[in-house]
């Protein structure tokens, strides 16, 4: 069984390992102290041999203590939450239990196929002293720990200290007196917990690649290479974070994983002249295949919501038959199959190789000599080349002589070119500033229209299928036909508006910074 807990912070004082317990007698208002029997508490950290979880900010640990049921705790780098996942340790578990399958699945995207085994331990020998006032009134507790931290494996490190923590202190006066006693014992406020110190020992240290110059492996500050690698690193990290969210079944996670992958792929394509293409082209192919594998799950989610909402907004006299129930049944199956396919993809060998290659991309960016040029001078040329690609695609899409059966494909090609331009502009924006921001803003209306057009294309195919299924089941599919007709009309209006929308976005004042 998995549940969640929330971390809380406490005021811990720390001193040398040989420091004794602070003197707790004759404290103001304290009638006597009750000292509980000594206990041993252990937190054993699990990771891959190369500490890949620690590098990703993930902590997987087994917590055990005297006369207490042990439990597994998985801490994920959610960023905006202190949520942790807990799984109880079976009472008959062996001394060296295997990591529960439900936790292994969550971190598979980071661990890949490598086994998880103990890599470090925090051991506490604990004594708790309860402070009592008159009438046995509880005034607080002082927890005294002798802490030992050690890493395990081929290279071991260790550290030890004494720490104390006051808990549930009744009043400020007693709290001040306790802090004075702690200081007398040589204990000072700690800046980090023992688990954080173990994190530091386990986390791999990034080392510059051999032969790096100037600003190091990610390029000299202010260079085009530095701007590009910073963007790539941020979105490779985003892929790792969204992988975890997908495995947890969180809303919109598949979409965000797909967007992060597309951002990395678009940046590699738009700025290919700054990179060694022998290393980046396989990545582009792998990211493209990942996007295709994730597409059915995302499409099913979007289509279900779009059709459900459209049916709800349809005039009652046009909503004939149990169409909402049919849509619910249909997409329950489609979404379940698509979700299973996504997890199969994330557990596959190709995805594991892709994630390893992305990690290597960030650690050893394959920058060319051209990447050393100043970002403000170099990046506009790459964005300009990508913008001209969109210009050609839009010109093709709005060509009045293009056959109707080719128009949807042409508009979709313009949409993809627009996304690549959007992400290329994101790379340049920190270095270029207001001009890049204005340019990105000018494209928003066009991008939204192109996206809406593609939504109508996909929706019309789905509505046609739903109508055919309704007919085969002896139901009334009229409502699906109505929605199909409205989407056809919406697509036609967008196609009519595209030339004017593009002319407004492509004004000289918006693109004057491009090269």
Q: What is the pLDDT of residues 84-136, one digit of tens each?
A: 789 999 888 888 899 999 999 999 989 988 899 999 999 999 999 999 999 99
User: 488, 456 in Cβ contact below 8 A?
Assistant: yes
Phi, psi of 39 (to 5 degrees): -130, 160
Enter the DSSP assignment of 152. -
Give the helix ranges, DSSP H, for 398-433: 404-432
User: Residue 289 pLDDT more than 60?
Assistant: yes
pLDDT value, residue 213? 38
For the chain, list the domains and their CATH numbers: 2-202 (2.40.320), 224-511 (1.40.20.10)
Q: Which residues, including other chains, have CB under 8 Å from residue 56's CB and lie 6 or more apart?
A: 77, 110, 240
- Per-residue pLDDT averaged across 266-271, rounded? 97
Q: Is 155 exposed, middle or buried (0-12, 13-18, 19+ CB in 10 A)?
A: exposed
Tokens, residue 398: 């709005």
Half-sphere exposure of 296 toward its Cβ, with a 13 Å CA cutoff?
A: 15
Strand-pair category, 138-151 with 158-167: antiparallel
Q: Quickly tell me which residue has 């990591």 as its tokens.
A: 99
Nearest alpha carbon to residue 514 among 387, 374, 372, 371: 387
User: Residue 204 pLDDT more than 90?
Assistant: no
d(CA 261, CA 241): 12
Tokens, residue 12: 């811990």
Q: What is the DSSP string of 77-102?
A: --SS--EEEEEEPPTT--SSPPPPHH
Tokens, residue 275: 């990179």
pLDDT value, residue 123? 94
- Model confidence at 399, in pLDDT bands (50, 70, 90)? confident
Handedness of CA 28, 34, 40, 42 (dihedral sign): negative
d(CA 225, CA 91): 54
Q: Structure pTM?
A: 0.79
Nearest alpha carbon to residue 54 among 239, 185, 241, 200: 200
pLDDT value, residue 121? 94
pLDDT value, residue 128? 94
- Model confidence at 473, in pLDDT bands (50, 70, 90)? confident
pLDDT value, residue 280? 96
Tokens, residue 444: 């928003």
pLDDT value, residue 261? 97
pLDDT value, residue 210? 38
- Model confidence at 212, in pLDDT bands (50, 70, 90)? very low
Average pLDDT, the chain: 89
d(CA 350, CA 352): 5
Give the helix ranges, DSSP H, for 320-365: 323-346, 349-363
Q: Is 41 exposed, middle or buried (0-12, 13-18, 19+ CB in 10 A)?
A: middle
How long is the chain? 515
């Amino acid at each position: 069984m998995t549940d969640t807990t929330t971390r809380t912070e406490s005021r811990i004082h720390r001193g040398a390992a040989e420091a004794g317990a602070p003197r707790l007698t004759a404290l103001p208002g304290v009638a006597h102290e009750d000292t509980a029997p000594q206990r041993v508490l252990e937190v054993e950290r699990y990771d891959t041999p190369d500490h890949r979880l620690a590098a990703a900010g993930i902590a997987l640990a087994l917590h055990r203590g005297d006369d207490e049921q042990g439990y597994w705790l998985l801490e994920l780098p959610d960023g905006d939450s202190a949520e942790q996942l807990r799984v109880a340790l079976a009472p008959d578990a062996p001394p060296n239990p295997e990591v529960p399958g439900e936790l292994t699945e969550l971190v598979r995207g980071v661990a890949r196929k490598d086994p998880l085994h103990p890599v470090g331990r925090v051991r506490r020998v604990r004594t708790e002293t309860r402070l009592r006032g008159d009438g046995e009134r509880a005034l607080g507790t002082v927890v005294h720990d002798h802490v030992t931290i050690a890493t395990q494996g081929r290279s071991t490190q260790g550290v030890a200290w004494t720490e104390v923590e006051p808990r549930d202190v009744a009043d400020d006066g007693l709290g001040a007196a306790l802090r004075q006693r702690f200081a007398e014992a040589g204990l000072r406020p700690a800046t980090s917990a023992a688990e954080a110190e173990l994190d530091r020992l386990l986390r791999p240290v990034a080392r510059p690649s051999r032969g790096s110059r100037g600003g190091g492996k990610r390029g000299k500050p202010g260079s085009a290479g530095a701007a590009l690698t910073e963007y790539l690193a941020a979105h490779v990290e985003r892929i790792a974070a969204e992988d975890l969210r997908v495995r947890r079944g969180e809303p919109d996670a598949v979409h965000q994983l797909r967007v992060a992958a597309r951002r990395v792929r678009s940046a590699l394509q738009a700025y290919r002249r700054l990179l060694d293409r022998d290393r980046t082209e396989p990545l582009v192919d792998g990211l493209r295949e990942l996007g295709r594998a994730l597409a059915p799950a995302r499409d099913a989610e979007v289509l279900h919501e779009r059709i459900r909402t459209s049916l709800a907004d349809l005039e009652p006299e046009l909503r004939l038959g149990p169409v909402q129930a049919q849509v619910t049944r249909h997409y329950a199956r489609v979404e379940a199959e698509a979700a299973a396919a996504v997890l199969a993809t994330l557990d596959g060998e190709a995805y594991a190789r892709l994630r390893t290659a992305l990690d290597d991309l960030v650690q050893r960016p394959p920058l060319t000599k051209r990447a050393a040029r100043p970002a403000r001078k170099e990046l506009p040329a790459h964005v300009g080349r990508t913008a001209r690609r969109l210009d050609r695609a839009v010109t093709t899409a709005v060509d009045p002589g293009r056959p109707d059966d080719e128009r949807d494909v042409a508009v979709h090609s313009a949409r993809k070119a627009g996304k690549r331009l959007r992400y290329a502009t994101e790379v340049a924006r920190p270095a270029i500033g207001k001009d890049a921001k204005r340019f990105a803003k000018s494209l928003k209306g066009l991008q939204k229209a192109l996206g809406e057009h593609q939504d109508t294309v996909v929706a019309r195919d789905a509505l046609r299928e739903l109508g055919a299924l309704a007919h085969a089941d002896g139901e009334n599919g009229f409502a699906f036909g109505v929605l199909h007709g409205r989407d056809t009309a919406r697509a036609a209006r967008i196609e009519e508006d595209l030339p004017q929308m593009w002319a407004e976005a492509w004004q000289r004042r918006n693109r004057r910074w491009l090269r």
